[in-house]
Amino acid sequence: MAGTETAHTDEPSPAGEDLAGLEAGLDALDTRTTTRPPLGRMLRRKVLPPLIAVLLVLALWQGAFALELKPDYQLPSPLMVWDALAEEWYKGTILGVIWQSVSRGALGFLVALAFGTPLGLLVARVRPVRAAIGPILSGLQSLPSVAWVPAAIIWFGLTDATIYAVVLLGAVPSIANGLVAGVDRIDPLHLRAGTVLGATGLRGIRHVLLPAALPGYVSGLKQGWAFSWRSLMAAELIATSPELGSGLGRLLDTGRSYQDMPLVLGAILLILLVGIGIELLLFAPVERRVLRHRGLLH
Amino acid sequence: MTAPAATDPSTAAAAAATEETTRTSESTAPAARLSHVSKSFGPPGARQHVLDDITLDVAPGEFVTLLGASGCGKSTLLNLVAGLDSPTGGSVHVPGGRPALMFQEHALFPWLTAGRNIELALKLRGVPKAERRPRAEELLELVRLQGAHRKRVHELSGGMRQRVALARALAQDSRLLLMDEPFAALDAITRDVLHEELSRVWSGTGLSVLFVTHNVREAVRLAQRVVLLSSRPGRIARQWEIAIPQPRRIEDGDVAALSAEITEQLRGEIRRHGRH
């Protein structure tokens, strides 16, 4: 055997090239390539089934109408609902009504985001805070936010503040809880790796904690939006006053007060469509992107 | 305990006789110095002594493997050196600042691409933005993954992930690299290739490496010095200086012979625990 001193020399180049070749071979054999399925098949698999379901529901509805299970004023046909919506459209007010609600929902959601995010971080990372308000926060999620409407009216009267208070009370807990769940699901190894790399304190939150918690956070945001929208409709439906302008909830209430079933169903459909539309156009792509980048989507 | 910090002159003076300039102190100070380190966990009364009286120096540029059966506290020891945990007794001193650490799992951040993982390590140690991208490319090239910059972590094979993890650890530009069974989860062929890769990178960089494993052949294949730990509590049972010249291969006769000797010793250590 040679002495204890080991010479630090580069390996002879043939061996080095051999290793490079071997490595390249292993890499090629082991690499998984992820390809996205063609658009046509995606459409057939993702869009066709819900379309068929909707058509089926419409057919059943039309059938029930044709059999006259209920009088017209209680069960209008799909076409009558369509006409009611068309009438609102020709009045030229419907877009304003939708915009009123959507802008309120969006603003309420953004404010809820600004409150819910630090709150969630605090609950997730500070043990006493979690022990104190963690259970309350998750308990609040099961409280229907419509329950806050009377209290908010007493506090703020029939003003925009009432509506935003209800939206916030509905959305903040679910955004915060989503973030807590996201932080809880972080692989501890990533936190250790972050510490080793020098990501501590605020830099740790910015570069490791938040991105690692992103999947849970995004699903919390999605749920937060759903809660915002629901709370908003509850608030608009109950707190009606000329100063509050006319949102979709108000439209629904107008339909109820005139016993106008086509308008009521039309308003319900619009509320549903806006909720689904924002989820599909805004949150679903973000969530898919986050999951795909991490290899969590197939 | 001395926190891993900048060169501590008093300890360095204890190691070397004198030091005129920082340069000589840097070349003579060990990359890591553990003096009478002990570590126990649990409440008083039910304390578990995991490490006991570990005294160990890792010289600059030295490759040391820590070998032991389960329960010898080798990962605990690595955590102490990494500064992720502090010892119950004794002192851990790492003059070169925060050491780099590679885990058994790649621990790459799945929300970043391979290249961005390396760039984040560079950013966290204060490398200016303009230099990060080219430096990351260099490091990827060093582990022969040129062109993998934009690859997502889940698109890489196990061996490629560990190579990116190695590149990320090297991006910390630390003088000491800690490795916690980094190849244990890989298949034999890939592990063999990564041994060659690590030997090549190590001889090219002059890094000090403290490598933890339970695989005797791996220890002998890679190291200049093998430190065998006993279990419960972990103590240094014996050390071997390995004189077999590099490049070595895991199937070399010399490697096999020494591995057999060390394995015998390791088995002896394990048998002791069956007697009571």
Q: In whole angstroms, what is the distance from residue A132 CA to residue A57 CA? A: 47
pLDDT at residue number A2? 40
Number of folded domains that form chain B: 2
In a domain, B58, yes or no: yes
Asked whether B32 and B189 are in contact (CB, 8 A), the reply is: no
- Give residue-wise pLDDT tens across range B167-196: 999 998 888 999 998 888 888 888 888 888
Same domain (yes/no): B196, B73: yes
- Give residue-wise pLDDT tens across range B14-37: 433 333 333 334 456 888 888 888
- Give residue-wise pLDDT tens across range A9-64: 444 445 566 777 887 887 777 766 666 777 888 888 888 888 999 999 999 999 99
CATH of the domain at B209: 3.40.50.300
**Confidence bin at B1 (pLDDT 50/70/90):** very low
**Confidence bin at A88 (pLDDT 50/70/90):** confident
Report the residue of chain A nearest B62, measured CA to CA. A6
Q: B64, B109, B112: which to substitute to probe chain A, counting the most A Cβ within 10 Å?
A: B109
A100: closest CA among A217, A271, A264? A271
Same domain (yes/no): B73, B158: no
Same domain (yes/no): B192, B154: no
B78: DSSP letter: H
Same domain (yes/no): B168, B180: no
Q: Hunting for tokens 């851990």 — which residue is that?
A: B92
The verdict on a CB contact (< 8 Å) between B160 and A4 is no
| Burial of A1: CB neighbours in 10 Å, binned 0-12, 13-18, 19+ | exposed
Pairs of CB atoms within 8 A across A/B: 122
Same domain (yes/no): B207, B273: yes
Residue percentage of chain B with pLDDT more than 90: 16
pLDDT at residue number A180? 92
Q: Which conformational region is residue B199 in: left (phi greater than 0), alpha (psi within -120 to 50 degrees), or beta?
A: alpha
CB contact burial A248-262 (16+ within 10 A = b; e otherwise) = bbbbbbbbeeeebbb
What is the residue range of B248's domain?
Answer: 35-99+175-276
Asked whether A231 and A171 are in contact (CB, 8 A), the reply is: yes
In a domain, B265, yes or no: yes
Same domain (yes/no): B39, B168: no
In a domain, B135, yes or no: yes
In a domain, B64, yes or no: yes
Same domain (yes/no): B163, B183: no
CA distances from A182 to A185, A279, A285, B156 (A): 5, 20, 18, 25
In a domain, B22, yes or no: no
The verdict on a CB contact (< 8 Å) between B200 and A16 is yes
Q: In whole angstroms, what is the distance from residue B216 CA to residue B259 CA? A: 6
- Give residue-wise pLDDT tens across range A179-221: 999 999 999 999 999 988 988 888 888 899 999 999 889 988 9
Q: In whole angstroms, what is the distance from residue A101 CA to residue B217 CA? A: 69
CA distances from B250 to A1, A211, A251, B193 (A): 16, 40, 78, 11
Structure tokens at B183: 């190849």
A20 touches chain B (CB under 8 A): yes
- Give residue-wise pLDDT tens across range B226-268: 998 887 788 888 888 888 887 788 888 888 888 888 888 888 8
- Give residue-wise pLDDT tens across range B31-63: 888 888 888 888 887 888 888 888 888 888 899
B137: closest CA among B121, B125, B119? B119
pLDDT at residue number B11? 43
* Interface predicted TM-score of the whole assembly (ipTM), two decimals: 0.79
Same domain (yes/no): B50, B148: no
Q: In whole angstroms, what is the distance from residue B273 CA to residue B232 CA? A: 9
Compare CB distances from B144 to A10, A20, A33 and report the shortest one's residue.
A20
The verdict on a CB contact (< 8 Å) between A26 and B206 is no
Q: B62, B104, B111: which to substitute to probe chain A, counting the most A Cβ within 10 Å?
A: B111
- Give residue-wise pLDDT tens across range B66-116: 988 776 788 888 889 988 888 888 888 888 788 999 988 889 999 999 999
Same domain (yes/no): B128, B148: yes
- Domain ranges for chain A, please list them: 91-293
Q: In whole angstroms, what is the distance from residue B40 CA to residue B56 CA? A: 18
Q: In whole angstroms, what is the distance from residue A265 CA to residue A271 CA? A: 10
The H-or-E segment that residue B11 falls in is helix B9-15
In a domain, B143, yes or no: yes
A226: closest CA among A293, A184, A177? A177
Average pLDDT of chain B, as a whole number: 82
Asked whether B37 and B80 are in contact (CB, 8 A), the reply is: yes
In a domain, B123, yes or no: yes
Asked whether A205 and A186 are in contact (CB, 8 A), the reply is: no
A211 touches chain B (CB under 8 A): yes
Q: In whole angstroms, what is the distance from residue A211 CA to residue B108 CA? A: 13
Alpha-helix runs per DSSP H in chain A: 13-30, 39-46, 48-66, 78-91, 94-125, 127-140, 148-156, 160-184, 188-197, 201-204, 210-238, 248-257, 261-278, 284-293
Distance from CA of B177 to the nearest CA of A (A): 11
Domain A91-293 - what CATH class?
A: mainly alpha
